[in-house]
Amino acid sequence: MTLPETIDSDELAQNRQTVADTGRDMLEQELTKGTGGNVSSRVGDDYVAISPSGVPYEEITADDVPIVDLEATHLAGEYEPSAESAMHTMVYQKRDDVGGVVHTHSPYASTFASLSEPVEPSHYLIAFIGDKIPVAPYETYGTPELGAAAVDTLGNEYNACLLENHGVLAVGETLPAAFETALMVEYCSRIHYQALSIGEPTLLPEEEIETLTDRFAGYGQQ
């Protein structure tokens, strides 16, 4: 397998390293267990660096990270790409604004996914994702049907969704941004779970979510 000459070698190396690092971060932050979940980063417009299938995150180096095209065709790397490559590449095909995708099995969010219940806006940080965290209907893992369900649920307005009876899909402008979104998903899911365990959470109104979304767009150092 050979890569097209149009791929920038420095960008490729950087993206592969980011994928390797983010997989370890996902494990350290307890967003998954074992070799579960997967992460990817867009390389240029037409290629994707994605975590390999079934390889422990602690052992993955930049050179181990496979490269696929937007049809999920394996182009480079010794290891087979993630079984969820189709889901990742379908997101990139649909969303030009997405440069990174993170799929986790984080426990609180996955609990709501197993209940097929969206996470409602009981905490203001949910505005990083949208007006709630919606649920994509169940499809078998690793299938194009799962990718289609996730893409349809994300639409253009959400930066994450729950995958029914499965886990979480989070996206961002970059892979680090997608990872932060995944952290926000789990945090908001935990707060909502705890609030429901005590009583009836107070939900933020739609107009406040819109205000927060605008404020978050300018958050941080410009």
Q: Is 104 helix (H, G, I), strand (E, B) or coil?
A: strand
Q: How far is CA 169 from CA 37, 77, 113, 222, in A?
A: 9, 24, 11, 27
Q: Rounded CA gap, 98 and 201, in Å?
A: 32
84 catalytic per annotation: yes
Q: Rounded CA gap, 57 and 48, in Å?
A: 18
Q: Is 199 helix (H, G, I), strand (E, B) or coil?
A: coil
Do 147 and 140 meet the contact criterion of CB atoms below 8 Å apart? no
Please pick, among 58, 84, 139, 157, the residue that the annotation labels catalytic: 84
Amino acid at 96: D
Q: Other C-beta atoms within 10 Å of 203: how many? A: 17
Q: Which are the catalytic amino acids?
A: 84
